[in-house]
Amino acid sequence: MRKKVIAGNWKMHNLVSESLALVRALKPLVADVKEVEIVVCPVYTSLYAVASELGGSNIKLGAQDCFWEEKGAFTGEVSAWMLKDVGAEFVIIGHSERRQYFCETDEWVNKKVKSAIRAGLTPIVCVGEKLEEREANRTFEVVRAQLDNGLGDLSPEEAGRIIIAYEPVWAIGTGRTATPQQAQEVHAFIRGWFREKFGDSLADALRIQYGGSVKPDNARDLLSQEDIDGALVGGASLKADAFAEIVKSAL
């Protein structure tokens, strides 16, 4: 039985005071939830403060990206070890906004995933097709290439440490959600890729989140699909009550 994981990607939102207000509002709303893993991913500048606020709660901390070197002359970058140091347990890697605006490649994703695992973080690795790729019936081909190039050379130990987020790019921040059936068939495809490469027990244990305009009113239908093991939530994670409702839809 896979424990569902609901993660909030706050993107580039919230000053420290706003981040603190958001987790203070969220904590009591989900305090009694034990069966779902809950993660929030603030901007770098709020991580330390949010980590202190989350102490002793059932909400875990994640970051939105990391660099693959541990330290050095890489101005502006933050390593996985530094994220671990401030209390993060998760890190989103290969989000479509990073691929789109910062030219992130599968090769970079590969290096970042390995470094995150070495640092002791759980990478949430994002894959997903663009609208024109879906319309050209290339969804599986695109997702397979992202998996092959981003994760193809992981050891079974490394592969067993990651979470996948299937995020169709056309559904992110657009209000347009994949239907539960559209999402399910790609999730099953992703699990099949892991089965072929790493065997049954790893594939059966792998958690695959759906992401793309998940809201309180569509979360339950998505989360009830056989291969959907959670959600990566953008916009709706910025409101404590909406995010808490999504968490509870996973129960």
Among 234, 246, 249, 250, binds ligand PEP (CB under 6 A): 234
Candidates 47, 172, 208, 240; binder of ligand PEP (CB under 6 A) is: 172
Residue in 9, 115, 146, 209 binding ligand PEP, rule: CB under 6 A: 9
182 half-sphere exposure, CB direction, 13 A CA radius? 17
186 vs 86: CA distance, rounded Å = 34
Rounded to whole angstroms, the Cα distance separating 17 from 54 reads 14
**R_g over Cα of the chain:** 17
10 Å CB burial of residue 168 (0-12, 13-18, 19+) is buried
Q: Which is nearer to ligand PEP, 150 or 212 (CB)?
A: 212
> Which stretch, 26-34, 48-56, 153-161, 233-241, contacts ligand PEP (CB under 6 A)?
233-241
* Catalytic site includes residue 104: no
173 binds ligand PEP (CB under 6 A): yes
**Residue 4, beta-bridge partner list:** 36
Mark whether 167 is an active-site residue.
yes
Please pick, from the candidates 214, 228, 240, 247, the single residue that binds ligand PEP as defined by CB under 6 A.
214
Kindly determine how many residues on this chain lie close enough to bind ligand PEP according to the rule CB under 6 A. Answer: 14
Residues 6 or more apart whose CB falls under 8 angstroms from that of 38 comprise 5, 6, 7, 30, 58, 59, 60, 247
Instruction: Cite the active site residues.
Output: 95, 167
Residue ranges binding ligand PEP (CB under 6 A): 9, 11, 167, 172-173, 211-214, 232-236
